[in-house]
Amino acid sequence: MINFKDKPFNLTEEQIKWVESTYEKMTLDEKIGQLFCPVVFSKDETELKDFLDKYKVGGVLYREGPGEEIHAAHSFLQKESKLPLLIAANLEYGGNGSALEGTFYGREMLVGATGNYERGYQLGKVSCSEGAAVGVNWAFAPVVDLDRNYHNPIINVRAFSDDEETVIEMGRGYLKAAREEEVATSIKHFPGDGIDERDQHLLTSVNSMSADEWDESFGKVYKAMIDEGTLTVMAGHIALPAYEEYFDKKAPDRVIPATLSKNLLQKLLREKLGFNGLIVSDASPMVGFCAAMDREHAVPACIENGCDMFLFNRNIDEDYEFMHKGYESGILSEERLKEAVERILATKAALNLPKKKKAGTLVPDKDALKILSCKEHVEWAKECADEGVTLVKDTQKLLPVSPKRHKRVLLELMGGFDSDERVSSYMIGRLTEEGFEVTLYEKEGFEVMNDSVGNLKSKYDLILYVGNIETSSNKTTARLNWHTMFGLGNNMPWMVNELPVMFVSLGNPYHLLDAPMVKTFINGYCNSEFVMDAVIDKILGRSEFKGKSPVDPFCGKMDLKF
């Protein structure tokens, strides 16, 4: 049962009346439509109007785009929608999660590395205030996963830490800021990612903790966020077999993602943890959802088993039909349909969306866009970078470097991402400004068979590796892959005993696993210009290293420390 007056809704009698009367007036199509939060791509007003008339959705999400375009599209959608929309964005690491020109405050692990809980609040403030400026009222954030498996290919720097207390305090700060901006949070990814070495985008991943282990880690985190008042929780396509066995009194005979599990959603999250708010599924096109059950049954079963809102679609016409057919056949019960829609409406009421729709203020005036990358937010991001960049080791006593002693630099960019050119250009530009002569590594062919140690030493004074390897959907690893084999060529760090070699990671903090021979290693956790500037200042000795690693960069292996 829903308690509208209790946390996290805290509705007034007037707001409760709006929820109940609105539900009673809704047609079946309108109720079914409220369950959906699709990705919207078009910004054409005729197409958007037709879309709203046809599906009557409860929410939408645009991928990142130019602020003015996103603002205009959100304004039109809210004006034309009969009921106010939940407008979502992945506001995990700054306002650039919605508007491209928003502030890139920093990846969660950079924030965690500062050890300064005020930075968690600032992350939320930057993300949600800039998101709100373009009309976002629902943040798919903060990520409250625990990064406890260095092989995990998707959480990694998206987690604040491997320590639950750090995650709790940073998460609390984010939630406080989001409330101030009247933006709903969706903590994710229940029941907890960062344990498996696999990605739920590609399969149903498994949180392999025992029930007791889960209670003392993820359970503490989720209970703290629930007590703090998060309006929504995002359920992942992640199984938790120990709690399936706990509730069923027998070992499970199949892998069940949380998005389809009554045990995890209704018994663990609702009853044991006491969550009274809205549960949204993670993106339903992910293989972790699709592989668990045929889609015709999975779409309505997702709502019947405990999710209140269905995120994204493979084909919205088909999914919409599947939801209708599931209701007509009894897969989706009248009771669960009513409960889910009323939780959606209650979330909107808690955000004062009905009142804002009447006043025409669901999306602020264009003047609000001035907050994007404003001076204060940029300053906060610089401070976060300064406090977060971490010196993992310098066993060769290389630092600080200088253009007098290390003038000729071979820059080796390890990446393979769209941001590679931006990162390499920025690093080369900054180092050149400081007086270094920088050569960007280019892949060699078999001519390297004629190269020599002496030749390399005659050309360079420092080998600088910059890791720009980010975790990303549909990539099974975030590891180093070398161009050359057997140490031939100058891509692999064969030369660590011949020349000074330094590695700066702007992504994955675990690259020492593949390059333990590198004796000077720095973690920046994200590839923002603020982080790159902080790295330059620190390797030149102008600023001390302040960051403390929120995970084990040595991966539990002794040889990585030397």
Tokens of residue 169, six digits = 């305090």
Beta strands in 418-551 (DSSP E): 437-440, 462-467, 501-505, 520-523
Of 258, 283, 256, 280, the C-alpha closest to 268 is 258
SS3 per residue for 350-377: HCCHHHHHHHCCCCCCHHHHHHCCCHHH
Q: End-to-end distance of the chain based on CA atoms, in angstroms?
A: 57
- State the pairing for strand pair 437-440/238-239: unpaired
Q: Contact 331/300 with Cβ under 8 angstroms? A: yes
CB-CB neighbours of 297 under 10 Å: 16
Backbone angles phi, psi at 445, to 5 degrees: -110, -155
Is 29 among the residues known to form the active site? no
Instruction: Return d(Cα 289, Cα 281) in angstroms, integer.
Output: 9
Q: 473 vs 198, 203, 287, 405, 470, CA distance in Å?
A: 11, 12, 11, 42, 10
- Tally of residues, the chain: 562
Looking up tokens 């785009």 gives 65
* All residues at 6 or more sequence positions from 181 whose CB lies less than 8 Å from its CB, including other chains: 125, 128, 129, 131, 132
Residue-wise burial string across 346-381, b where 16 or more C-beta atoms lie within 10 A, e elsewhere = bbbbbbbbbebbeeeebbbeeebbebbbbeebbebb
Q: 245 vs 147, 212, 222, 250, 257, CA distance in Å?
A: 24, 13, 20, 5, 14
| Active-site entry in 145, 162, 196, 282 | 282
The residues that are catalytic are 282
